[in-house]
Amino acid sequence: MNWQKYNGETIHKPITEAVEEIIRTEAHLGNKLKVYIGTDSQVKRGIIEFATVIVFLREHRGGFMFIHRDKKEHKMSLKERMLYEVQKSIDIAYQLCPLLDQYHIDLEVHADINTNPHFESNIALKEAMGYILGMGFQFKAKPESFASTSCADRIVQ
């Protein structure tokens, strides 16, 4: 998987190594981190573009993120696409979980799914919530899921 920083700089190490380097650097600077993972997608001319983000928030000191983009040429129903987004986020969370546990850093997985039943994406809410919570992660959906609804959304726009 190819990851990059928000400024476009490519991360040339495995994501777990890059994240551990960030954790150590921020700890050395006295910053307490919290990590949020989310994925969003956009359909453009039959191609689905996905963006997965790892958002690092420093307590009272702003934040930054790592980004992974990919595309899929496959028709998906809205529900299938929402659950695929969740799967992509969980895959990264699962890779980072031992590292974040080791450094006692809280993690939330964010889903770009609306809690309001009047919105189409709500069709995947129960399954997504069950999947994320069943894997042992903290879960947030719209309007609290900023990693997917704001950060990742900005990348696929």
What confidence score (pLDDT) does residue 45 get? 87
- The predicted model scores a pTM of 0.94
How many residues are there in the chain?
Answer: 157
Q: At 89, is the secondary structure helix, strand, or coil?
A: helix
Nearest to 156 by CA among 32, 18, 25, 48: 48
Domain containing residue 39:
3-156
What is d(CA 78, CA 121) in angstroms, rounded to the nearest whole number? 7
Q: At 156, is the secondary structure helix, strand, or coil?
A: helix
Q: Reduce the secondary structure of 68-135 to three states and give it as a string.
A: EEEEECCCCCHHHHHHHHHHHHHHHHHHHHHHHHHCCCEEEEEEEEECCCCCHHHHHHHHHHHHHHHC
- pLDDT tens digit sequence for 64-97: 999 999 999 888 999 999 999 999 999 999 999 9
Q: Torsions phi, psi of 112, nearest 5?
A: -85, 55
Mean pLDDT in residue range 115-141: 92
Domain total of the chain: 1
Q: Which two tokens stand for residue 79?
A: 């529900």
